[in-house]
A and B are shown apart, each in its own frame.
Chain A
Amino acid sequence: MTIITDALCPFCGCVCDDLTIIVENNKITDIKNACKLGASKIMGHHRIKAPMMRADKKSDFKEVSFDEAINEAAQILFKSKRPLMYGWASALCEVHKKGILLAEEVGAIIDNTATVCHAPSTLAVHEKGLPSATLGQVKNRSDVTVFWGSNPVHAHPRHMGRYSVFAKGFFQEKGRKGRKVIVVDVRKTETAAMADEFVQLQQGSDYLVISALRAILSGHADVVPESVGGVPKEQLVKLVDTLKAAKFGSIFFGMGLTQSISRYKNIDNAISLITELNAFTKYVISPMRGHYNVTGFGQVCTWETGFATAVDFARGAPYYNPGETAANDVLLRKETDAAMIIAGDAGAHFPADSVRHLARIPVVQIDPYWNPTTEVSNVVIPVAICGVEVEGTAYRMDGVSLRMRKMIEPTLPTDVEVLDRITERVRELRGE
């Protein structure tokens, strides 16, 4: 029996680094400190056991060798005029690097799961920057914590305990008692039920409410109507007083801002609010990133191409214009003629019309698990699980890079090995 202490969790953007893993005969038999999300992934589920292929998506798969599957994947990318390479968030930075190289060589569009998550936040950061902090700073200093359109009880279960609400920090010795917690949401979520103050707004009115808070903060409460987005003016005025009274305030935002009407403009406005609060006291704002290494893809893609995601290599040089080059843009325009989906599940998480187009074009899936993307794939290549069977680099939601540890030995090839072999085969097909 092997006991691995201080193991890192490959599920959500918290990347908790205090897990204890018990391994017997190369199987994980117990896990301590993980939340329900992390434990479910690390303890494992049904895996795809062997590579599979089919010509007709309505027929059953046939098991094939890795050589056959890799050759077919390379043929699909080689023949495609407008390939899309999507996913990446459940893989390590070493995988991203290989993927970006392959995308450049085949002239693909490469996009990651942020496209249905925090990519609008990136657009807002282009406009305004991001006055942010590490989760360590939040743990040690934050005395007012705001969750806006985010629900950590469900999506980031240990965030509040380790960093933002219940944690005891260097200047926050009292933990929960020393922190004021505010939740702004459309629904009274479990997170809202634990807050000191719940601001319930009408769906889609975040931009209006943020603008009202900015007006009150700048001394123009007189122009704010009696109710904004369903929130009484009185509550907004009180909220501004609470925000201003912080010594160190932090706002964590989620899909409530990125996916509602106005999209990135909601975050743009929220960052402006934070900038203006910094005229009174210290404030930071951070996106609640979903997958454990979705932040890492943004980092690698930025240092390799100059852009964080939705990069189009068709011109031979990186080009970036979400709205034109994001995964759903090219699928909905029926522009892409082949796709590789890796470490992400477009079949489950894209709108029906995008999945309909995936069902019409050749699709290669590289993933440990059978999921809706498998259902629309022609070639399926199973791989080892990053962060459980493969070590490497991941970026926590606050941009801190961490070394993920290997818990058990893989029985399948790694993403890096598969991408290397596909790249090699593509080069052969091109006569290089």
Chain B
Amino acid sequence: MTLNAILITGRTINQGATIENKTSSDYQEATALCELNSKDIGLLGIKPGSRISVKTDHGDVVVKLKENNGNPDGLAFIPMGPWANAVVDPDTKGCGMPGFKGIKARLEPTDNKVLSMKELIARYK
């Protein structure tokens, strides 16, 4: 099933604690994830820890699903970093700042693997 959500990105403590160690699995664990509330996770029909595909008009990425019941319905959160930035809106709206928050996203369960940082960046070469 596909869940239409509004995506925001931002800092987390674990993202920050691994920010100078971006080749580590700890960094991937901290940032290659998407938080939804339990109701939205239920709509997707999968469990936290499963892999989901996040698609926007600007790209697609596979990350792990995480439960966060602080999120309102229909709001997805991915910690800032290369996985989030694979799908954010690059348009700087005439003031230099890309659209890191408020992006329309389509979320689906997937069997595809979560790319490592190096594999993810290799897609751009």
Which residue of the partner chain, among B9, B10, B21, B72, contacts A46 with CB atoms under 8 Å?
B21
Decide yes or no: A351 and B22 within 8 Å by CB, A37-B16, A186-B72, A187-B70 being known contacts: no
| Distance between A228 CB and nearest chain B CB, rounded to angstroms | 16
Interface residue? A57 (CB, 8 A): yes
| Distance between A319 CB and nearest chain B CB, rounded to angstroms | 14
Interface string of B5-28 (1 = CB under 8 A from A): 010111111001110111110000
Chain B: interface residue total (CB-CB under 8 A): 51
Cβ A37 vs Cβ B13 within 8 A: yes
Decide yes or no: A322 and B95 within 8 Å by CB, A186-B72, A351-B88, A375-B121 being known contacts: yes
Cβ B85 vs Cβ A259 within 8 A: no
Interface residue? A224 (CB, 8 A): no
Cβ B101 vs Cβ A255 within 8 A: yes
Instruction: Write the chain B residue with the least CB distance to A11.
Output: B16
Interface string of A189-211 (1 = CB under 8 A from B): 11011000000100110000000
Which residue of the partner chain, among B16, B85, B117, contacts A352 with CB atoms under 8 Å?
B85
| Distance between B44 CB and nearest chain A CB, rounded to angstroms | 19
Cβ B95 vs Cβ A351 within 8 A: no
| Distance between A421 CB and nearest chain B CB, rounded to angstroms | 24
Cβ B97 vs Cβ A372 within 8 A: no
9-residue interface stretch from A94-102, A114-122, A128-136, A392-400: A114-122
Residue among B20, B80, B90, B120 with max Cβ neighbours from chain A (10 Å):
B20
Decide yes or no: A264 and B95 within 8 Å by CB, A151-B11, A328-B90, A352-B85 being known contacts: yes
Q: Which residues of B contact A123 (CB under 8 A)?
A: 95
Cβ A40 vs Cβ B92 within 8 A: no
Decide yes or no: A40 and B18 within 8 Å by CB, A120-B95, A332-B90 being known contacts: yes
CA distance A57 to B121 in the complex (A): 11
* 9 tightest A-B CB contacts, nearest first: A326-B96, A322-B96, A188-B70, A351-B90, A323-B94, A375-B121, A45-B21, A371-B22, A155-B11
Query: B residues bordering A, Cβ < 8 Å?
Result: 6, 8-13, 16-18, 20-24, 58-59, 68-72, 75, 77, 80-82, 85-90, 92-102, 117-118, 120-122, 124-125
